[in-house]
Amino acid sequence: MNPDLREQLRLLGLRHCAESLNDLLALATKSRWGVQQILEHVAHIELEDRARRSLERRLTRSKLGRLKAMADFDWAWPKRIDRPAVETALRLEFIEQAHNVVLVAPQGLGKTMIAQSIAHAAVLAGHSVLFTTAAQMLLDLGSQDSARGLDRRLRNYTSQTTLLVIDEIGYLSYDNRNADLLFQVVSRRYEKRSTVLTTNLAFSDWATIFPNAACTTALIDRLVHHSEIISIEGKSYRAREAEINKARTSKSKT
């Protein structure tokens, strides 16, 4: 075997073939493949490897971390939830139309789980995805000390991301600068790229998040337009689990 062949394959971008060259040659010899069969196999394994590495990169960039599968979602627990709307969102049709999805629910009813599942489905479908909390995103943007640095970070949340998921809007109050930063993100994505947002507050209560911001109405207007708003009502899953665990503990002591 030409000792430079492995390096030449790497230079051509055929990384998987270079790494498994001995196995590839052994398989071709054993199977008595002709030139066309070898080329077809090389093309097949390289495409598979590139798809795998692309998926790994998108998953890493998405910052999704660990997530629960929607198969584990207890649809019977919420007092009210529009299951068809959730399942439609999971089919990702809204992304092709550059529409948004807003999940409105009290804490502990699974809105983050649904948002993560939508994001994961989008990653698997080949989209670039970024999952972040409102606090993390605004801290990142607010820490930029130059206009150029801020513009570069804004592009990370806007033009460089097909689907942006902003979790946990409503748990903290923000000053005018943070409100303006969120408005910039939403405005740059408006009618161009999709956003999934979770909040524990109705839009009528958003004045409590941005108490002095003049852009709140315009921000809500851009979020609501072309959006599927999915409301979930009921008691917290976590509160239920805590009650069950407490009951088990009490029973085990008797």
Give pLDDT tens digits for 184-207: 999 999 999 999 999 999 988 988
pLDDT in tens, 82-108: 999 999 999 999 999 999 999 999 999
Q: What is the pLDDT of residue 242?
A: 61
pTM: 0.86
The number of residues in the chain equals 254
Give the whole-angstrom CA distance, residue 46 versus residue 152: 33
What is the DSSP secondary-structure string of 73-88? --TTSSSB--HHHHHH
Res 247 pLDDT > 60:
no
CATH of 70-239, picked from 3.30.750.200, 3.40.50.980, 3.30.70.890, 3.40.50.300, is: 3.40.50.300
Using alpha carbons only, give the angle 158, 156, 228 rounded to the nearest 5 degrees: 35
Q: Give yes or no for residue 139 having a pLDDT over 90.
A: yes
Look at the alpha carbons of 184, 159, 85, 169 in this order and tell me if their dihedral is positive or negative: negative
Give the contacts of 208 (CB within 8 A, at least 6 positions apart): 173, 201
pLDDT over 90 at 237, yes or no:
no
pLDDT band (50, 70, 90) for residue 4: confident
Delimiting residues of CATH 3.40.50.300 domain(s) in the chain:
70-239
pLDDT of residue 246: 55
Q: What percent of the chain has pLDDT over 90?
A: 77
